[in-house]
Copies of this chain bind each other. A is one copy, B any other.
Amino acid sequence: MVNETQHTCSASSSSRSDGGSSSGSESSKDNSRCSTPVLDADRHERLREKMRRRQDAGDKWFSLEFFPPRTANAAVNLISRFDRMGAGGPLFIDVTWHPAGDPGSDKETSSMIIANTAVNYCGLETILHMTCCNQTKDDITGHLQKAKRLGLKNIMALRGDPAGEEWEEEVDGFNYAVDLVKHIRSEFDDYFDICVAGYPKGHPEAESYEADLRHLKEKVFAGADFIITQLFFRPETFLKFMKDCQAIGITCPIIPGIFPIQGYHSLRQLVKLSKLEVPQEIKDVIEPIKDNDAAIRNYGVELAVSMCRELLDSGMVHGLHFYTLNREVATTEVLKRLGLWKEDPRRPLPWAVSAHPKRRVEDVRPIFWASRPKSYIYRTQEWDDFPNGRCLGNSSSPAFGELKDYYLFYLKSKSPREELLKMWGEELTGEESVFEVFTCYITGEPNRNGYKVTCMPWNDDPLATETNLLKDQLEKVNRRGILTINSQPNINGKPSTDPIVGWGPSGGYVFQKAYLEFFTSSEIVTALLKVLKKYELRVNYHIVNVKGQNITNAPDLQPNAVTWGIFPGREIIQPTVVDPVSFLYWKDEAFALWIEQWAKLYEEESPSRMIIQYIHDNYYLVNLVDNDFPLENCLWQVVEDTFELLN
């Protein structure tokens, strides 16, 4: 919002229709008693309801503003930042709208697609900015329809910068933010939550501070739900503005925009764009240290912390909105010092939920995508219904999306090719070198060239804390060619608040069946199948190769629940299953990752590439479930018996 402007000419005020409920089904709360047990009220609430609930509870919050990246690589980095900063618990993030950057397009760097990623893949409540000047009504309606289709539920309605030097009002066009607010309400009823911009010092183009306040009131009365302000340098600026708003009857939430100064140049540029004046006392401090980035940042953090404290202490402010400039350090530091950064180890479900409204009933996923949730979300984005309770997929949503898109930018490895080669080997000498890579990933020890293996084609992050519980056994089996890509220990009723394996509301108990998934040679599979006969009633298995040859003892095509929770006053939740049908879709993805992520690092026809190709063509993907969760996990014994049989 920093560099977006708003015109101040008057537009007739129209009060918002509260008469009917929304016509869009997405916005109506699901009242059916058959819906998923409400584990997390948040998933069902609109942003404005969340804001109200937090305010009523006296629970302070923060939000984060980002702008869309310029390049695909920058987009990958921004998405990682969403994940990291999302962990601190923002109430929402917002993504600015850059008319010059084709903001409504399908490009991976567009405002629309970045906001889509934040909502759907990072599970963040997201506001998409949208400007209206120099655009046709059809363009704007198209953008809004697309936003709705993608699951976006909140719009920041702005005028935007006029294209020419001298801006002229267009007849029947969108000249002011208030026109956009009215348009959204008339075309989309109550579907979107709408945010508008407030200017604590008055809009630079406004006739006067008072006239600007009146325009703000018009925007609110046209249907805006809350206000985020332009940045300001002194707390009293905001507090006066807030009182003045209240005095003329603006009662919706007003959220102060906070800009932690992070560097001399970014400050100067920002000030120029926003036509604000930096107070002399700040200039006096900054000018002498203008070449010392660290010093400026420290000062910026101090200043922001003290201003935020004053705002919060006033009792008038319940949330703070941060202009991050897509940077992490300063904002995170301010939030931590304010005690607002809350990394909640408690998860509503064992996997990260998506914020798309149509996924809010989703409470079951196959275990296979545990390390690739974004891929799972991507491949099921066309589903009309989401698994709720025991129903995985259904007649209207029969299949997973094609694999052809798995190289999409948000599924790309965060590491560049050179780094991957260092981790996975510049030159492979045989299958054993592959075993070594897997083993190093498990142990965290450096490989023979001194590099740590921090990611694998099937997992872009280091080993999960939970998997660490199995580290010793995993190391042993990977060394011998049981190349594990997914596993979980058995859990027999740990409290739902357990910091490692807990999830869901407190007072509950969580359970797991032991799970192990790996690639291995056909020689080992042959021995394994003999061993599994002894475990026939206890262990369920699926064994498949790239050609789809499939060996299983699963009864019918029934999914096997491997993670479930029992909570006070609720039905049972079983969020993770081993599902025989989706395993065959996962199989395609899991095998393809050998080639796409690993083999293709090497020259065609090179020995290294041929080794990976050989594994891809000949190995099997195996998953094992130990159904006897109250007993000691028998899967390690199964593997041991297999090795023994081979010797």
Seen from chain A, the residues whose Cβ lies within 8 Å of a Cβ on chain B are 32-34, 36-38, 389-395, 492-493, 506-507, 509, 511, 537-538, 540, 553-561, 564, 566-572, 574, 577, 581, 625, 627-630
Contact = CB atoms under 8 A, between A and B. Distances in A.
Nearest to A552: B569
Given A390-B389, A492-B493, A571 B570 contact: no
A557 B629 CA distance: 31
B568 A537 contact: yes
A394 B507 contact: no
Contacts of A32: 394-395
B566 A33 contact: no
B574 A554 contact: no
Nearest to A553: B569
Given A32-B395, A34-B391, A569 B540 contact: yes
Given A506-B537, A567-B627, 14 more contacts: A33-B392, A33-B393, A38-B555, A389-B389, A493-B630, A507-B537, A509-B629, A540-B568, A554-B569, A555-B570, A558-B570, A559-B570, A561-B571, A572-B572
A555 B553 CA distance: 40
A379 to B, nearest CB: 17
A348 to B, nearest CB: 14
Given A390-B390, A507-B627, A38 B569 contact: no
Nearest to A492: B493
B390 A538 contact: no
Contacts of A559: 33, 570-571
B574 A569 contact: no
Scoring A538, A557, A627 by chain B CB atoms within 10 A of each residue's CB, the highest score goes to A627
Nearest to A509: B630
Going nearest first, the 5 A-B pairs with the smallest beta carbon separation are A568-B627, A34-B391, A389-B390, A540-B569, A390-B571
A629 B558 contact: no
A566 B567 CA distance: 16
B392 A391 contact: no
21 contacts: A33-B581, A34-B390, A34-B391, A34-B393, A37-B390, A389-B389, A389-B391, A390-B572, A493-B493, A493-B630, A506-B537, A507-B537, A507-B538, A507-B628, A555-B570, A560-B568, A560-B569, A561-B566, A569-B625, A571-B574, A571-B577
Given A33-B581, A390-B37, A493-B492, A564 B554 contact: no
